Homo-oligomer: A and B are copies of this chain.
């Protein structure tokens, strides 16, 4: 099993999920010792990045994203579709849906304070997200 989809329930705009334990577990199960794991979130109103999983800095990130795409701006997307998530699309495109992390010695090579996170940016109360984990071995290539 080198590629799998994990399902994450999110609870509203600004929810940030720590994916590190789930990814770590899959890396261990894959038995890949040297390689790369790519995390990809399906959908256009969520994003993936790394950050220290600490409530303060997560709040700081939310505010920074709102500088780039303010809540009270007039979104052409919202005028056309009325779903109120124009800012969600913009933030997701800026941060991006994919991230690649090396596997070194059978483990994720993240720093001590560096967690892999899913950013829920949409405005719905709850969403079920699919995140695809692809693990590739550098040695087998």
Write the residues of chain A forming the contact surface with B, with a CB cutoff of 8 angstroms.
2-3, 5, 34-36, 38, 40, 42-44, 49-52, 54-57, 59-61, 63-65, 67-69, 73, 75-81, 86-87, 89-90, 92-102, 104, 109-111, 113-115, 117, 132, 134-141
Return the 6 tightest CB-CB contacts between A and B, nearest first: A56-B76, A43-B111, A57-B77, A56-B77, A51-B93, A56-B80
Contacts of A139 in B (CB 8 A): 2
The complex is assembled from copies of this chain, and their number is 3
Contacts of A102 in B (CB 8 A): 3, 38, 40, 132, 134
B114 and A42 form a contact (CB under 8 A): yes
B86 and A40 form a contact (CB under 8 A): no
Given A90-B57, A102-B3, A109-B40: A35 and B134 within 8 A (CB)? yes
